[in-house]
Every structure is written in structure tokens, then in C-alpha cells.
Structure 1
């Protein structure tokens, strides 16, 4: 396949609940019980971000990634149980649909979590084909849970589908399949990549891994491999699966014309025994702490993104939508606010150019929890750990995330000037919400 910088291929690998501090290239690896040599090597082949930020949990982040819009706009504010309305509404335009409009082949192999009924599956939202799970992985525990019967809660399934056809069930997604799912997904992606290369068509592959979501259970080939338990074994497997995809891309001869991104959807799990770590940052997902917001991000694009580069500039998950669209020359919607910022030039020259983003607002469900601006973070609600909220603060807490990474010392009284640029961010966003009102929370219908 010839190298066409105007139509590069895109492979986007998204880990599930992978905290900032788990990988070797982020200070974890063997310190967390499992070396991650393949992802660590990938980090030396491109740009590693220290300050890549996401939304509060799986659904909000995935909706922001697919639409370039904060979930307060799209209504995808939280993960909801099976059987409740969920997913992107028909009027949202996905990244896959934008690339499809640009004649890209598209596929989704992995965890979707943006719709579990006809009309909202990946094959209905711009992907030529898909294979994976429509919702999430804790459902694998259903069939082994005390008192469970399919009459009271639907069985979870691994599914597949193609554009223009009805999606269908492949197998019950139980604990046995939980151990096998990431191997199955890699096999699907390798087969699809080979087909696209044979057809010489530019492509977009979205591969949302299932690891490290709870129950964090490894494939039998990795069980016991680290002698540090299921979580470490699963991390070793995750690194291996990413390596399989990297090797396949390289062996197909498309390395130089493929943008490869590896990232996580949110901070680490807080529930034992699957609790993860965010390294130097406090908190887990479902909070507004840095450990929730900051996650791993690596991008490789040979000849375009410099090797062995790092940056602590702020980038947000919505930016990935705008940046991939820009890199591929794909159109984005002009009839709605897009929160994502095109970071193409920053990614290409991070040593000389700053990120185009200075900050963002962070919501959990409908509530503004924090504002992040440059090296500063202001909390309106204090919840350092899940289910330990002290409620809305009469006087917000302000932290400097460089000098105080664990957000322990409120310094608002000495730095009230910071409120001004933060309030400008808030007022601009509030004005845009006025003309682009958020849809109602679907759970309030019940």
C-alpha cells in the first residue's frame, strides 16, 4: 500500500479502566507486577502524553471520543444498566461516520457501550462491521450470580454485525468468554486489517480492548504467568494483545502510513480486588480527581510524530475526534458545537509547539465538578474517593497540579486571580449550552 499522507490509515486502541500508573512507560510495569514491554516500546516510537484527560467513566468518554462533544451535550452522562435507554442519539455524528463520508473503510472490534438496540449498534453508526460487546464486562458475572435468571435480567451476548444488516448474537458473554474475549477481538482485527490491505483502501479500525475492566480475568495462557494474581496476569495479556496488533500492522507493510493511537477510557477501578493505580495522582474514575482525568495516551505516526517525545500539555479526549478528522481530511459537522480541538500540529512538533488547549470543564452526570486550566484545578464538589462526597463546596478548592499532584493543599486564598480565566472558560461553555441544550437524562424516565 502506497504512503499517502492525505489519507493515512488510523488504528485506535482503547484500554478499559487502565490507570495512569499501570504501564512501565508511566512508572508502573514490573512495579505493578507485570512488565509491559510492547506498549513501553510503542512509547519510544512516538509521542507519550502525561496530561491526556478523559471523562468520568466508560460511556461519557466513549461518547466524547466518537462525537468530539462533552457528554453534557450528548446525554451520554453515565454508564447505565442493561435494559435502560442508553447510547448515542441518532442526531449525533460519530467519528466513524465522518471517515465513512471520506470513503474510509471502518470497523469496530471490542466494547461499544454506546447503544444496545437496533439503530444504535456500531454497524448503525458508521462502522462497516463490528464484533464485540454492546455494553460492559461486569455482566459476565450474571450467569454465576446467586438468584440470577434470564427472566429478570437479559443475558449478555458477544455480538457481530455489518452495515445495512441486522446485528446478531454470537455467544453468551459469561466468565468463560470473559477470559477469551480479547484474544477473539485481536483475531477479528487482524483478519479485517489483512482484507483492507488486500483491497488497498484507507481504513479506520477502532479496537476498544476489554482489559482491564472487572472482573479482570486473564486468558488461561496468561493465568499465573506473573505470580502476582489475576490483575497482573491480565495486564501482561493486555500488553501482549497490543503487541499482536502492532506486529500485524508492521508485517502488512503499512506501518509508515498508519496513525496508531493507544489510550485508556478512564482512570483505574476503585473496587477491590481489581483496584488499579493512577501513579502519582489521587483518585479513581467516578471522581473529579486527577487520577480519574489523566490516563495513558501514545500516538505513533512514522515521519510525522517525532519518536521518543513526551509532553505535559493538556489534551482532552474530545480532541482526538477533531485531530483524527483533520489528519485524514474528513469533514466534521458544522451545525453543532464541537468541543474537540485539532491537535495535529502539536502532535507533529511537541517540542516546539504548545497544545492548542488550555483547559476544560469536567462534569459528572449533570453536575459541574471541576475546572482544569493550565497547571490549576478548581473543585466545586469534593469527592476524593467514590461515595465519599462532602457535597458542593461553599468555597471551591484550588490546587496546583504540578506542585501538589495529590490535590492536598487548597491555595485559593493566595491565588484568586486564577478564578478569572476559569470563569471565562465556564461562561463560554455555558453560552454554547444555551444554544445547544443538553437532552434529558434517560434514567429520569424511570
Structure 2
């Protein structure tokens, strides 16, 4: 553990497909069938962001988190089926690699989804230890699906690995293991945290959970507890698992010098019966609507981040990379464009300080879908529901996300001035792409 306040420990917990409207502290909780007391209490201990923005789905967001770069740069544009080239290329520098090179103990317990071949597993990308799934959790349904043939579609596995050694299969990841895996991941994380207490190094624990990704199935201890179905039971379990990690940090006596972040990788699931909610916003992941972009984010850093504060300032997932490097005293890479900006000053004083970001571009795969700037959102392709796009708009739609959170009333005709800062932002970003070409899309080769 780190006794040096200039090199704080870091615990990053990432929920999967957790929409803005699910947690009690974001207006959900019991209204969604399951109270979330542990996360709600955690929100009171730090800063809650109401305008934290991510990418369109699992892979793009996780790549942006690990590299501080938009996925259009890294080639991690979308989730790719097993058997196709995927993940972060060797020349990308991950958050774990940079922290580890500067003395941090690093571990990953959970869902990776940034590479499933030797050279691209977490233990190849800066994590000294890892345990979890290399891709996504819907694969847990494979072995129970009528007609599934392991000879033509790879078996899904829970895996483990240590830096410098080959990663290995632990067991087949099936529906039985799906119900057990979040419990197992907490056990692995807490065991690792206990072991690091004997080291004089700061630690970085990355704990990307499996809940609430479909199939959203709770552990037997939580099945039926909410009386509102398996999705609500899984929310109750997710809340409990987060509490277990928080309790262990406190038990080890490292709370005061540990940054703990809880966030989601994208907006809610759209497939029934596991459909989630984005609360006041429209849309789910795989769209450019606010329901896709805005997700929960809470940060606790005792004595550094004030308690019981919420903010509507814009923060992007790429900013977490840059900010965590900054607080750890680790320089960011200078040999490539880094899209994340340092939000340390804002996190420390969110009442009197503005975010260092005013907006960002939003791509889905290789298509620019929208630009967000201050209270405005410009859509080049309007898709309020997945697979219901009418294609590129002849004239973009402009929405004010404060006055029109559902993004229903186009106001471009009498707010054309907004195009100036937005087009400047787009032009600057696209100019930088010319000198920073991304790897090809593996599904288009």
C-alpha cells in the first residue's frame, strides 16, 4: 500500500450496462425494484457526476478508459465476436502499464474485453495479476443454446494470468458460473488487496464487474429477494458486492489514501427481458442519445474530494486516464494524441471550479454521430432507439439537453451560432486523426 499522499492507491470499479436511472442516488433504487443503499451511501462520501459521458458500448469505453484516447484512434470501435482480431494493439499505452512502470502494484479482476489472444490479455498490458473473462458475458449462454457447436464457435472460459506467463483457462463460463462470478471476483480482489498490504507500493485495482450485463442473473443468495425479478435481484447483488470492496478497503486501514471510483461503461441494455433505464434521458447504449452517453460516476478521495456534492459539469471517460496519471505523478504519453483532460482541480473543488472540458465528438464505429458542447447536442445521425436510424441527416438536429432532456425538439434553425464552436471542435479533432491513423476494422477486412 502507499503511505505517500502524493501517490494514492486507486480502486476503479466499473459496472457493466448500468443505466443512469438504476441507482437510488440517480433517481432509481426502489423505484426500479431494488434499493441500492451501499452505493447511495458511497455517493454521499464524495462527488457524484450527473454529466459523466462514455462511448457507445463495452469495448470502445474500456479502450478509452485504458488509453485516454477515443476508440476511433485505437481501432477498438465495437464489440467483436470471438475468433476475430480485437483488442488494444501493442503500441497503445494502458493506464495499468504506465502506473506499473512507475511503481504501482496492478491487478485486474473482472471483464476485460480488450484482447483475447496472447499479447493482449490484461497480464500482457500492465496488470501483474488478472482473473475473469476476456470478452463478454453473453457468451455464458453459449453452452445452453440449442444447436451450439464448440467445434465452430469457441467455448467461453473464465481465465487467469500473471505478468510474464501465459494466461490459462480456469473453467468454462456457463450460466451456472454467470450467477457466481461477481461473488468470485470480489473474493479475488479482496484477497489481492490484503496481499499488497505488505508491499511498500501504491496499488491500482481495476474491478470491472459482470452485473448488469445480460443475461442478468443473480447469485442464489439474492434470487427472489426483491420480489421484482432477476434484474432487480441482480441490482441488489451489485450494490452488495460494491459494498464488500468498500468495506475491505476500510478494514485494511487504507481508506484515507485511496481513490475509489465507481462508474458504468455505457448506458442500459435495450434487449428484453434485461432492458434497463436511463432515467430522464432517452436511449440505450449503441445510440448517440443522452441515455447512451450519460452514466453514473462517483469518486471518493477523503480530504481531497469534498463529500456530498453533485455536479452537472461535463466529464468524459478519457479524462479518467489523464486525471489518474496526474494524481499519481505519472506523465502522460507525449508521442500520441491524448483526448483525456486532467480533471484533478475540478474534482478537488467542484463547487467553485469548472470542468476543463466543454465538449467532445461522439463516434459509433467509424461514423461521427454527434457532437456535445456545453448544454447542446448536435446529431448528424438521429437514432433514438437501436436499429431505428434513418441514416445521415441532410440537416443536423440540435437539442438543448437542459431544456429538452429527451432530445425531441430540434432548435437549430434559431440557434445556428452553436454550430461555430461545435464545428471548430470537429475540425480540430478530425485534423488530428490525419496524423494518427487507427488500425483497420477487423470486421471490414
TM-score with structure 1 setting the length = 0.99
Q: Residues 376-415 of structure 1 correspond to what in structure 2 (within 5 A)?
A: 376-415=376-415
Query: Do the aligned residues in 2 keep the contact of 1:284 with 1:291 (CA within 8 Å)?
Result: yes
Query: Do the aligned residues in 2 keep the contact of 1:24 with 1:30 (CA within 8 Å)?
Result: yes
Q: Where does residue 267 of structure 1 map in the other structure?
A: 267
Equivalences, count: 445
Give the Cα separation in 1 of the matches to 2:374 and 2:3: 37
Q: Where does residue 206 of structure 2 map in the other structure?
A: 206
Q: Residues 121-132 of structure 1 correspond to what in structure 2 (within 5 A)?
A: 121-132=121-132
Give the Cα separation in 1 of the matches to 2:57 and 2:411: 28
Q: Where does residue 308 of structure 1 map in the other structure?
A: 308
**3-state SS, counterpart of residue 368 of structure 1:** strand
Q: State the Cα distance separating 1:331 from its structure 2 match.
A: 2.3
Corresponding position: 1:250 with 2:262: no
Query: Do the aligned residues in 2 keep the contact of 1:343 with 1:355 (CA within 8 Å)?
Result: yes
Query: Do the aligned residues in 2 keep the contact of 1:3 with 1:256 (CA within 8 Å)?
Result: no
Give the Cα separation in 2 of the matches to 1:217 and 1:27: 23
Gaps of 5+ in 2: none
**3-state SS, counterpart of residue 244 of structure 1:** helix
Query: Do the aligned residues in 1 keep the contact of 2:2 with 2:201 (CA within 8 Å)?
Result: no
Considering only aligned residues, what root-mean-square deviation do their CA atoms show, in Å?
0.7
Corresponding position: 1:443 with 2:417: no
Gaps of 5+ in 1: none
Q: Where does residue 79 of structure 1 map in the other structure?
A: 79
Query: Do the aligned residues in 1 keep the contact of 2:2 with 2:8 (CA within 8 Å)?
Result: no
Q: Residues 23-172 of structure 1 correspond to what in structure 2 (within 5 A)?
A: 23-172=23-172
Superposed CA offset, 1:342-398 (max 9, x none) = 000000000000000000000000000000000000000011100100100000000
Corresponding position: 1:239 with 2:239: yes
Q: State the Cα distance separating 1:105 from its structure 2 match.
A: 0.3
Q: State the Cα distance separating 1:152 from its structure 2 match.
A: 1.1
**3-state SS, counterpart of residue 198 of structure 2:** helix
Q: State the Cα distance separating 1:201 from its structure 2 match.
A: 1.9
Query: Do the aligned residues in 1 keep the contact of 2:2 with 2:202 (CA within 8 Å)?
Result: no
Query: Do the aligned residues in 2 keep the contact of 1:68 with 1:319 (CA within 8 Å)?
Result: yes
Q: State the Cα distance separating 1:438 from its structure 2 match.
A: 2.0
Q: Residues 294-305 of structure 1 correspond to what in structure 2 (within 5 A)?
A: 294-305=294-305
Q: Where does residue 432 of structure 1 map in the other structure?
A: 432
Q: Where does residue 350 of structure 1 map in the other structure?
A: 350
Superposed CA offset, 1:378-430 (max 9, x none) = 00001110010010000000000000000010000010000000011001101
Give the Cα separation in 2 of the matches to 1:265 and 1:42: 19
Query: Do the aligned residues in 2 keep the contact of 1:22 with 1:278 (CA within 8 Å)?
Result: yes
Give the Cα separation in 2 of the matches to 1:366 and 1:139: 25
**3-state SS, counterpart of residue 199 of structure 1:** coil
Give the Cα separation in 2 of the matches to 1:172 and 1:3: 40
